[in-house]
């Protein structure tokens, strides 16, 4: 599935610039989860670890690629990623689906861990 189609299907939040960017350009920007400084094997592991959040990562990569390198925009991009992860979590494992609470909890912890790690350690990658 195209990256932009995935994001639209999941009803994710993105800037107009993202929605106006051609798919082939998005494919050159999106490189999975994690910093460009990470080894390929660890990026692949992290990308698989948070696989249901791919659309959120696509938009986050776009935001990083087009960043103005300010701390304000760093936190804005991270918050948008987190909000999009919540959208994906809520549609994939809704609260009313009691039998899915275990899976929901697993993905919720992954979502929180990724967001908190980026907020704590990601500013240097943002500025590079």
| Domain chopping of the chain, boundaries | 3-127
The greatest distance separating any two alpha carbons of the chain, rounded to the nearest whole angstrom, comes to: 44
| Whether the predicted model's global pTM rises above the 0.85 cut | yes
Which tens digit of pLDDT belongs to each residue from 74-116? Answer: 999 999 999 999 999 999 999 888 888 999 999 999 999 999 9
The string of DSSP letters for 40-108 reads HHHHHHHHHHTGGGHHHHHHHHHHHHT----HHHHHHHHHHHHHHHHHHHHHHS-TT-GGGHHHHHHHH
* Angstrom distance (rounded) from CA 40 to CA 99: 36
Give the three-state DSSP class for 20: coil
Q: At 32, is the pLDDT very low, low, confident or very high (cuts 50, 70, 90)?
A: confident
Supply the pLDDT for residue 54.
95
83 or 31, greater pLDDT: 83
What Cα–Cα distance (Å) separates residue 55 from each residue in 58, 84, 98, 110, 113?
Answer: 5, 8, 25, 15, 17
Neighbours of 77 (CB within 10 A): 22
Q: Is 24 a residue whose pLDDT tops 80?
A: yes
Please tell me the predicted confidence (pLDDT) of residue 128.
65
């Amino acid at each position: 599935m195209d990256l932009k189609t995935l994001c639209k299907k999941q009803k994710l939040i993105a800037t107009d610039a993202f929605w106006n960017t051609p798919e082939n350009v998005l494919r050159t920007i999106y490189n999975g989860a994690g910093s460009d400084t990470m080894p390929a094997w660890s990026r692949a592991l992290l990308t698989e670890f948070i696989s249901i959040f791919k659309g959120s990562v696509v938009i986050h990569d776009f935001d990083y690629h087009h960043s103005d390198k300010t701390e304000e925009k760093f936190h804005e991009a991270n918050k948008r990623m987190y909000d999009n992860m919540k959208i994906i979590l809520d549609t994939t494992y809704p609260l009313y689906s009691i039998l899915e609470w275990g899976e929901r909890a697993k993905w919720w912890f992954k979502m929180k861990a990724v967001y908190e790690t980026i907020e704590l350690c990601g500013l240097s990658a943002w500025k590079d």
